[in-house]
C-alpha cells in the first residue's frame, strides 16, 4: 500500500510553506489522502522552516516515523532530519552547496544554484525546481504542477506563468534524465473522487460561513490568524463582515454588539488574546448574548512558544470568566470534526444564549488533512441554522412577554428579556422591533432587564442561567466516540481534541486497544460518562500538556480518575511511536 | 409622536445637583425632537454614575462593562447601520479604561455618538482621580496630588480622525440638546465631551469654575477647519473651555465603506448559500 512521507526544508522566508501546500494539493488531486504539518520559528526571516507531507492510499490522521523523500534546500535540513531517514530514503540536495558522505541513503543531487544562474531566477525558484524533481522521483506527471502554476500566477500574465513553468520542467527533466533508476511509482493517479485539502483553521472558516456567521472579529495571533485572513479574503464573495480590531478586548466586545443586534458572530484568538477577552466572556454569560469563540492553543505561559503546539488552555477555557455562568467547550479531533462542531457551536450559542468555545491547537489549526468533497457537500445539505428562541418579530400571542407593571404613560413595552423559564432559556427579541425595548444588562437584573440587588430575583436569575446547562446535557451533549472494541480491548486510551490522530495511528500498530475520545469536553454529564470507565482495564490518558488537564477535569466532573498518563509538553505533537513505545515498555 | 415620558424608565439614583440629571434630560429631549421612539435607537452604557442611566432611559440598550461601551456600539452599528447608536460613558470609562477603543473608533469614523460625562473624578467608587483631572488634583487615590497631566480628549479625537467633536456644559440644557442632536444627526464618529460638576466628590471643578472659564463659540466660527479646531481644543491648557461644535467634516463612515452592506443592513440580509465559490479554494 502506498504510504510515504515527503519533507522539504530550508531557510525561513523562502517559500517553503507554499511549496509544501502545493505538494499536498497535488497528492490530493491525484486521489491520495494527506496529512501535513509545518515547522517554523516565530520569525519572518532566518531560522529553519520545514514542511512534512504524509501521503497514503488510506485515510490517515497523523505523521509517520520515517521520511521517505527529504528535499534539502540547505544543509541544516539534512542535519536536522537525517535521523528519520532509512536506507531506502531519497535525499534531494545540491552537492555544489554541501556534501553527504557514505551510502546510508539514496542521493539525488540537483544543481539548484546552477539552474538558478542559467535561467536568471530568484532564490525562491529553488522550491519550484525541487517540486518538479520530487514529482519526477515519485513517478508523477509534471502537468499537475504546471496546472497549479497557472492557477497561482495566471492573473499576472503568460510571461510570469511561463517563467515559473520552466523551473518546474527543468527540475523534472533533470531527474528523468540523470536518475531514471531512482524513480518510484508512488504518485500515480489513483481515483477520480474530489478531495479537499484543509487545515483546522480552514475548516472553522468554511463551516462558519455555512453556519450563517455574518461577522467575524479578530486580532492576529498565531496559530489562529489564518481564520482572520481567510474570512477577510471571502468578504466580497460571501458578504461576511470581518473586523480586525485594535485589541482582543475590542474584538470580543464588538462581536457581542453584533450578536446583541441579531447577527451570528464569532471571534478568533489564541491563549494570550483569549486572556484579554475573559472579562467579556463573563459579559456574554450574564447578558446571555450568544458568541462563538475560536481558541487555537499554543504553548504558554505568556508568549510561550508561538509556533508550536500544546493543549494547555483547556482548564483556562473551561473556567474563563469571573462569576458563575454556563458556557460550552467543544474540542474537535480532526478537520472533519472541526467542520461539524463549528456548525454545532453556532447553533448551541444561539439556542442556549451563551459563549461556546471551539478549542483547537497549532497541530489541528495548521496541519492539512484531505477530506472528501462529498463530506462537505453532505454537511452543507444537512446543516440547519437553529436560532433557538430568537424572535424576529412580535405577535400578540407573545404579549405575556412584556412587563405588566411598567409606567402606563410609556407607550412602548418593556420586553421581558430575562423571563424565568423551565429550560432556563428566555426568548430574545431582535433590537429595533417596533413598540418594544429592553436592555441587556451586565449587572444582575430583573426579568425586564433592569438592575437589581434584591436577593430573590438574583437567586432566580442565577438558577435560570444554570438550568441552561441541564437542558444542554439533556438535549445536545454528545458522548465520547469509541474507536476500537471497548469490550475486548485490554488497553483503553482516553484523549480529547487533537490527541486523537496519534492514538489512532498507534492503534493500527498495537491491535486490541480502544480509544475513548471526547469532543464535548465541558460540561460533562457524569451519569452518561461514568459507564465508559467501569471495566477493569488499563486506561491511559493521552494529552499534550504537563498537568493532564483533561484528566483533572474528568475527575472533577465525573469522579473518574485515570492514573496512567502519556503527557507531552515540549511543543511537538505526540507521535504514534511515542504512544506505542509507552504501551510496550510498561506492558504488564 | 413620542414624548419625554416614553423614554422615562426608573427614577434616577443620582445625587441631587449632579450634572447627570441635566444630561439625561437633554438626551431624552433630543430623542423626542428627532421623532424617535425607544424602539428606534440603541444605547450602550459604560459603568459609572453616567452608565447608571441605563435604568432611567427606555431604549434597546446594553449596559456594558467598564470601558467597553464603544466596541459594543461599533458592533451594533455594523450589524444594523440603520439604528442610531449612542454611547453614554464617563471620563474614567472612556478616557481611562477604554481609551484605546476611543482612538480606534475615531480612526474608523464609526457612525456612533459618544457622550462623555467629564466630571474629572470617579463618582461611583467614591472620589478617586479621573484621567481628565488637573495635575496636582488631590483625591483618595492621589492624596499627594496626581502626578500625571490630564488627557485632552478633544485633541485626541481630532488627531485620531473623529469627524464631529463638540463640548457642552451640563448646566446649559438648551445648548446641550442642540449639540447632542447635531451629534446624532452627524454621519460619522461624534465625540461630545460634557463638562459636568460632581457635587459630591469634586470641590474644585464646580459649576462656578466652569461658568467662569467656559464660553460659547462665536457664530462665525469655522467648524470645518482642522487648525482652528486644534487651537480651540488646546485651550484646555489655559483652563479655557469653548462650548459648541468644535469640529465637523463630512467623510465616509465605516459602514459606508463596506460594499457588502450597501443594499441591506447585515442583520437583514438573505443567508449566503453559494458555498461552491469558497469550497473550490481547497481543491
Question: pLDDT tens across A527-581, in order?
Answer: 999 999 987 899 999 999 999 999 999 999 999 999 999 999 999 999 999 999 9
Q: Does any CB of chain B come closer than 8 Å to the CB of residue A263?
A: yes
A348 with A408, same domain?
A: no
A507 with A421, same domain?
A: no
CATH of the domain at A294: 3.40.50.970
Q: Which residue from A258, A283, A430 is facing B78, i.e. has the nearest CB?
A: A258
pLDDT value, residue A411? 84
Is residue B132 a contact partner of residue B118, using CB atoms and an 8 Å limit? yes
A153 with A228, same domain?
A: no
Which 3 state secondary structure label does DSSP give B191? strand
CA gap A360, A313 in Å, rounded? 10
Q: Enter the pTM of the model.
A: 0.96
A513 with A430, same domain?
A: no
Q: Considering all CA atoms of chain B, what is the largest pairwise distance in Å, rounded to the nearest integer?
A: 72
A412 with A377, same domain?
A: no
**Which tens digit of pLDDT belongs to each residue from B146-177?**
999 999 999 999 999 999 999 999 999 999 99
A505 with A464, same domain?
A: no
- Domain end marker among A475, A509, A532: A475
pLDDT value, residue B20? 92
Q: Does any CB of chain B come closer than 8 Å to the CB of residue A511?
A: no
pLDDT value, residue A189? 80
Is A439's CB within 8 Å of B63's CB? yes
Which 3 state secondary structure label does DSSP give A337? helix
Q: Which residue from B55, B75, B78 is facing A450, i.e. has the nearest CB?
A: B55
Is residue A266 a contact partner of residue A291, using CB atoms and an 8 Å limit? yes
Backbone φ and ψ of B58, nearest 5°: -85, 125
Question: In angstroms, what separates the C-alpha of B44 from chain A's closest C-alpha?
Answer: 9
Residue B10 with chain A: CB contacts under 8 Å: 450
Is residue A40 a contact partner of residue A52, using CB atoms and an 8 Å limit? no
A179 with A299, same domain?
A: no
- Domain end marker among A165, A192, A219: A192
Q: Which residues, listed in sequence order, are joined to residue A483 by a DSSP beta bridge? A: A515
Task: Look at residues A112, A91, A110, A94 and name the one whose alpha carbon lies nearest to residue A102.
Answer: A91
- Give the residue extent of every domain in chain B: 4-282
Is residue A162 a contact partner of residue A149, using CB atoms and an 8 Å limit? no
Backbone φ and ψ of A51, nearest 5°: -140, 125
User: What's the total number of domains in chain A?
Assistant: 4
- Altogether, the residues listed in chain A come to a count of 588
Q: Give burial (CB, 10 Å; 0-12/13-18/19+) of B174.
A: exposed
**Which CATH number applies to B4-282?**
3.40.50.970
* CB neighbours of residue A531 within 10 Å: 9
Interface test mutation site (partner B, options A210, A278, A439, max chain B beta carbons within 10 A) = A439
Backbone φ and ψ of A499, nearest 5°: -65, -15
How would you write the pLDDT of chain A (588 residues) with one tens digit per residue? 899 999 999 988 888 999 999 999 999 999 999 999 998 877 777 788 999 999 999 989 899 989 999 999 999 999 999 999 999 999 999 999 999 987 889 999 999 999 999 999 999 999 999 999 999 999 999 999 999 999 988 899 999 999 999 999 999 999 999 999 999 989 888 877 889 999 999 999 999 999 999 999 999 999 999 999 999 999 999 999 999 999 999 999 999 999 999 999 999 999 999 999 999 999 999 999 999 999 999 999 999 999 999 999 999 999 999 999 999 999 999 999 999 999 999 999 999 999 999 999 999 999 999 999 999 999 999 999 999 999 988 776 666 677 766 677 788 899 999 999 999 999 999 999 999 999 999 999 999 999 999 999 999 999 999 999 999 999 999 999 999 999 999 999 999 999 999 999 999 999 899 999 999 999 999 999 999 998 789 999 999 999 999 999 999 999 999 999 999 999 999 999 999 999 998 765
Q: Does any CB of chain B come closer than 8 Å to the CB of residue A147?
A: no
Q: Which residue of B has its CA nearest to A193?
A: B283
CA gap A552, A268 in Å, rounded? 26
Q: Does any CB of chain B come closer than 8 Å to the CB of residue A247?
A: yes
CA gap A135, A146 in Å, rounded? 11
Cβ density class A489-508: b for 16+ within 10 Å, e for less: bebbbbbbbbbbbbbbbbbe
Looking at every residue in chain B, the average pLDDT score rounds to 96
Helix H or strand E encompassing A43: none
Residue A251 with chain B: CB contacts under 8 Å: 71
A30 with A152, same domain?
A: yes
Q: Which residue of B has its CA nearest to A434?
A: B39
Is B283's CB within 8 Å of A249's CB? no
Q: Which residue from A196, A214, A412 is facing B266, i.e. has the nearest CB?
A: A214
pLDDT value, residue A193? 81
A237 with A375, same domain?
A: yes
Q: Which residue from A215, A287, A410 is facing B5, i.e. has the nearest CB?
A: A410
Residue scoring higher pLDDT (B11 or A491)? A491
A357 with A424, same domain?
A: no
* CB neighbours of residue A465 within 10 Å: 23
Cell numbers given for A563: 492514573
Q: Does any CB of chain B come closer than 8 Å to the CB of residue A327?
A: no
> What range does the domain containing A549 cover?
481-585
A187 with A262, same domain?
A: no
Residue A412 with chain B: CB contacts under 8 Å: 6, 37-39, 58
Q: Does any CB of chain B come closer than 8 Å to the CB of residue A372?
A: no
Q: Which residues, listed in sequence order, are joined to residue A93 by a DSSP beta bridge? A: A109
CA gap A418, A353 in Å, rounded? 11
Q: Does any CB of chain B come closer than 8 Å to the CB of residue A210?
A: yes
Cα atoms in the 13 Å half-sphere on the side-chain side of A434? 3
Q: What value of ipTM does the predicted structure carry? A: 0.98
- Domain end marker among A176, A192, A208: A192
Amino acid at each position: 500500500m502506498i504510504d510515504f512521507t515527503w519533507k522539504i526544508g530550508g531557510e525561513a522566508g523562502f517559500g517553503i510553506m507554499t511549496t509544501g501546500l502545493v505538494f499536498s494539493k497535488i497528492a490530493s488531486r491525484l486521489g491520495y489522502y494527506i496529512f501535513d504539518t509545518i515547522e517554523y520559528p516565530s520569525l519572518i526571516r532566518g531560522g529553519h522552516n520545514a514542511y512534512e507531507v504524509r501521503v497514503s492510499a488510506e485515510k490517515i490522521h497523523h505523521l509517520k516515523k520515517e521520511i521517505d523523500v527529504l528535499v534539502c534546500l540547505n544543509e541544516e535540513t539534512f542535519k536536522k532530519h537525517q535521523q528519520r531517514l532509512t536506507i531506502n530514503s531519497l535525499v534531494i540536495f545540491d552537492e555544489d552547496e554541501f556534501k553527504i558522505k557514505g551510502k546510508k541513503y539514496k542521493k539525488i543531487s540537483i544543481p539548484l544554484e546552477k539552474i538558478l544562474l542559467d535561467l536568471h531566477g530568484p532564490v525562491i525558484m529553488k522550491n519550484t525546481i525541487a517540486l518538479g524533481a520530487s514529482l519526477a522521483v515519485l513517478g508523477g506527471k509534471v502537468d499537475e504542477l504546471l496546472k497549479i502554476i497557472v492557477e497561482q500566477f495566471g492573473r499576472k500574465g503568460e510571461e510570469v506563468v511561463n517563467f515559473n513553468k520552466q523551473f518546474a520542467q527543468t527540475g523534472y527533466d533533470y531527474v528523468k534524465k540523470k536518475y531514471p533508476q531512482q524513480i518510484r511509482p508512488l504518485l500515480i493517479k489513483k481515483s477520480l473522487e474530489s478531495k479537499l485539502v484543509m487545515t483546522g483553521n480552514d475548516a472553522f472558516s468554511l463551516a462558519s460561513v455555512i453556519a450563517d456567521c455574518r461577522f467575524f472579529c479578530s486580532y492576529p495571533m498565531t496559530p489562529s490568524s489564518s481564520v482572520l485572513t481567510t474570512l477577510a479574503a471571502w468578504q466580497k464573495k460571501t458578504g461576511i463582515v470581518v473586523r480586525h480590531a485594535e485589541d482582543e478586548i475590542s474584538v470580543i466586545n464588538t462581536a457581542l454588539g453584533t450578536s446583541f443586534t441579531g447577527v451570528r458572530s464569532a471571534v478568533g484568538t489564541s491563549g494570550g488574546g483569549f486572556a484579554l477577552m475573559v472579562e467579556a466572556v463573563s459579559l456574554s454569560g450574564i447578558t446571555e448574548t450568544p458568541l462563538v469563540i475560536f481558541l487555537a492553543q499554543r504553548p504558554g505561559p505568556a508568549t510561550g512558544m508561538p509556533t508550536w503546539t500544546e493543549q494547555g488552555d483547556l482548564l483556562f477555557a473551561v473556567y474563563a470568566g469571573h462569576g458563575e455562568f454556563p458556557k460550552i467547550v467543544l474540542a474537535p479531533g480532526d478537520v472533519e470534526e472541526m467542520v461539524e462542531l463549528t456548525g454545532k457551536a453556532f447553533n448551541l450559542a444561539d439556542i442556549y444564549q451563551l459563549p461556546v468555545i471551539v478549542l483547537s491547537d497549532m497541530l489541528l489549526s495548521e496541519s492539512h488533512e484531505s477530506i472528501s468533497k462529498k463530506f462537505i457537500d453532505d454537511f452543507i445539505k444537512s446543516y440547519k441554522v437553529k436560532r433557538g428562541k430568537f424572535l424576529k418579530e412580535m405577535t400578540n400571542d407573545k404579549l405575556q412577554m412584556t412587563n405588566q407593571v411598567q409606567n402606563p404613560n410609556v407607550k412602548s413595552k418593556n420586553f421581558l428579556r430575562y423571563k424565568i423559564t423551565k429550560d432556563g432559556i428566555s426568548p430574545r427579541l431582535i433590537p429595533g422591533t417596533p413598540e418594544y425595548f429592553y436592555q441587556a444588562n451586565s449587572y444582575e437584573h430583573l426579568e425586564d432587564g433592569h438592575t437589581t440587588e434584591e436577593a430573590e430575583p438574583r437567586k432566580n436569575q442565577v438558577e435560570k442561567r444554570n438550568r441552561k446547562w441541564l437542558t444542554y446535557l439533556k438535549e445536545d451533549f454528545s458522548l465520547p466516540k469509541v474507536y476500537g472494541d471497548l469490550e475486548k480491548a485490554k488497553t483503553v486510551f482516553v484523549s480529547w481534541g487533537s490527541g486523537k490522530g496519534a492514538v489512532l495511528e498507534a492503534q493500527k500498530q498495537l491491535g486490541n486497544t480502544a480509544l475513548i475520545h471526547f469532543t464535548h469536553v465541558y460540561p460533562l454529564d457524569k451519569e452518561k460518562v461514568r459507564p465508559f470507565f467501569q471495566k477493569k482495564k488499563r486506561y491511559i490518558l493521552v494529552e499534550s500538556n504537563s498537568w493532564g488537564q483533561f484528566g483533572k477535569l474528568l475527575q472533577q466532573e465525573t469522579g473518574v480518575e485515570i492514573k496512567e498518563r502519556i503527557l507531552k509538553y515540549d511543543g511537538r505533537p505526540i507521535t504514534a511511536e511515542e504512544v506505542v513505545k509507552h504501551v510496550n515498555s510498561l506492558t504488564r | 409622536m413620542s414624548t419625554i415620558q416614553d423614554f422615562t424608565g426608573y427614577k434616577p439614583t443620582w445625587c441631587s445637583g449632579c450634572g447627570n440629571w441635566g444630561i439625561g434630560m437633554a438626551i431624552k429631549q433630543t430623542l423626542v425632537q428627532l421623532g424617535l421612539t425607544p424602539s428606534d435607537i440603541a444605547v450602550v452604557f459604560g459603568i459609572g454614575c453616567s452608565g447608571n442611566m441605563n435604568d432611567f432611559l427606555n431604549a434597546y440598550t446594553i449596559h456594558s462593562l467598564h470601558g467597553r461601551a464603544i466596541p459594543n456600539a461599533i458592533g451594533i452599528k455594523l450589524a444594523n447601520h440603520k439604528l442610531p447608536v449612542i454611547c453614554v460613558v464617563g471620563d474614567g470609562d472612556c478616557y481611562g479604561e477604554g481609551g484605546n477603543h476611543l482612538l480606534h473608533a475615531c480612526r474608523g469614523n464609526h457612525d456612533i455618538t459618544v457622550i462623555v460625562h467629564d466630571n474629572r473624578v470617579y463618582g461611583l467608587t467614591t472620589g478617586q482621580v479621573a484621567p481628565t483631572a488637573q495635575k496636582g488634583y488631590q483625591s483618595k487615590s492621589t492624596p499627594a496630588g496626581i502626578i500625571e497631566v490630564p488627557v485632552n480628549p478633544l485633541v485626541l479625537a481630532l488627531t485620531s480622525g473623529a469627524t464631529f467633536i463638540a463640548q457642552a456644559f451640563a448646566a446649559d440644557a438648551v445648548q446641550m440638546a442642540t449639540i447632542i442632536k447635531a451629534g446624532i444627526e452627524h454621519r460619522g464618529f461624534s465625540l461630545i465631551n460634557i463638562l459636568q460638576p460632581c457635587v459630591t466628590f469634586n470641590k474644585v471643578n464646580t459649576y462656578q469654575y466652569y461658568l467662569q472659564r467656559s464660553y460659547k463659540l462665536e457664530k462665525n466660527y469655522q467648524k470645518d477647519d482642522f487648525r482652528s479646531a486644534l487651537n480651540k481644543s488646546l485651550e484646555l491648557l489655559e483652563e479655557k473651555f469653548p462650548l459648541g461644535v468644535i469640529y465637523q467634516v463630512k467623510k465616509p463612515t465605516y459602514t459606508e465603506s463596506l460594499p457588502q452592506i450597501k443594499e441591506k443592513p447585515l442583520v437583514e440580509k438573505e443567508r449566503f448559500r453559494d458555498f461552491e465559490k469558497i469550497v473550490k479554494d481547497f481543491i
